[in-house]
Amino acid sequence: MIDLNNHFENKPISILTEQINLTSLDLDSKSTTEIVNLFSEADKEPQIAVNQAIPEIVKAIDEITLKLKSEGRLFYIGSGTSGRLGVLDASECPPTFCSAPEMVQGIIAGGVPSLTKSSESLEDITELAIANLQEKKFSKNDVLIGITASGRTPYVASALNYAQHINALTICISAVPSNDSNISSDIDIRLLTGPEIIAGSTRLKAGTATKMALNIISTSVMIKLGKVYGNRMIDLAVTNNKLFDRAVGILFDIGSVDKNKAVQLLKLTNGSVKLSLLIALSNLDVIQAKKLLEQSQGNLRTALSNIRSQSSQY
């Protein structure tokens, strides 16, 4: 239990995420239409905030890609809404890009129970963050993205300090300016969405901006790792009828094969769209195609370029 007498010290709340939104002062007396219009206008601000943070986001993507290409891993860490957003983004990578579950992981204070049950008190326990990272065998080869809307969460600050101490790459995502937060990280992404419609409820604009940034970061990294060709997901896992139809459609559109041939290729490659495409676009058999993909670090465009390069030499 917080000691209320000693905690506040008669100081006014000045941190950006806790300030009062002047456009929603009489929110409880507005009509449903007026409330929705307020939210609609406010939700334009996350896009602006992300746009203003593009240089830092680009740097994060490039640095993370280098780490993952060197067998490193990406971790998100946070508490409450911030932690849930990290876990959500990490959990979407394997089904979307067929990435190994270990490649991108989300850590939330309190673990799995905190995904559905409030455990905000844990955000003040600094030792817990270090223990959570050590349980994952977090090392200097990995990347840690600390997510904290307020820029002050002790759990996240402790995790980032530990990661910096062992020389891992650290990235902080917050929704406050630098004068509101002194958390140290290698890359500092500030998504300044301003006061929330309901004061302090950072699951709103700050949460939206954070989800947008995480979408951009993880998707861009996967693109750079060769899991996308053009704008198609070629490393998808064919685990249901919808994804089977999508895989066949990709082979039809890019590989120029009919449905029967697409099905044959998917059977031959155990459902690998990328390997099937390489076979369809070349004269290679499955063994040759696998070898070439390995030599090309799993990048289909690189593999095709290598084939063209070899052909031009003869």
Q: How far apart are CA 254 and CA 237, in angstroms?
A: 18
User: Is the CB of residue 82 less than 8 Å from the CB of residue 114?
Assistant: no
219 and 236 fall within a common domain: no
Domain-located, residue 21: yes
Domain-located, residue 2: no
pLDDT for 13:
54
Q: How far is CA 97 from CA 63, 144, 165, 233, 272, in A?
A: 19, 20, 32, 7, 12
167 and 281 fall within a common domain: no
Please give the residue range of the domain that contains residue 282: 229-312
pLDDT for 9:
46
CATH number of the structural domain spanning residue 273: 1.10.8.1080
DSSP helix/strand/coil, 156: helix
Domain-located, residue 131: yes
Q: Report pLDDT digits (tens) over 188-229.
A: 999 999 999 999 999 999 999 999 999 999 999 999 999 999
Domain-located, residue 242: yes
Alpha-helical (H) ranges within the chain are 4-7, 32-42, 45-52, 54-69, 80-97, 126-135, 154-165, 205-224, 241-255, 259-268, 273-280, 286-295, 300-312
Domain-located, residue 204: yes
296 and 168 fall within a common domain: no
94 and 176 fall within a common domain: yes
The pLDDT profile of the chain, 314 residues, written as one tens digit per residue, is: 444 444 444 444 578 989 999 999 999 999 999 999 999 999 999 999 999 999 999 999 999 999 999 999 999 999 999 999 999 999 999 988 999 999 999 999 999 988 988 777 787 888 999 999 999 999 999 999 999 999 999 999 999 999 999 999 999 999 999 999 888 999 999 999 999 999 999 999 999 999 999 999 999 999 999 999 999 999 987 888 999 999 999 999 999 999 999 999 999 999 999 999 999 999 899 999 999 999 998 999 999 998 877 655 54
**What is the residue-averaged pLDDT of the chain?**
92
User: Is the CB of residue 132 less than 8 Å from the CB of residue 163?
Assistant: no
CA atoms within 13 A on the CB side of 201: 8
pLDDT for 311:
59
pLDDT for 39:
96
Last residue within a domain, chosen from 206, 224, 242: 224
Point out the residues that are catalytic: 92, 123
Q: How far apart are CA 93 and CA 30, in angstroms?
A: 40
pLDDT for 313:
54
pLDDT for 20:
92
Q: Report pLDDT digits (tens) over 122-171.
A: 878 889 999 999 999 999 999 999 999 999 999 999 999 999 999 999 99
User: Is the CB of residue 89 less than 8 Å from the CB of residue 99?
Assistant: no
pLDDT for 5:
46
pLDDT for 155:
96
Domain-located, residue 7: no
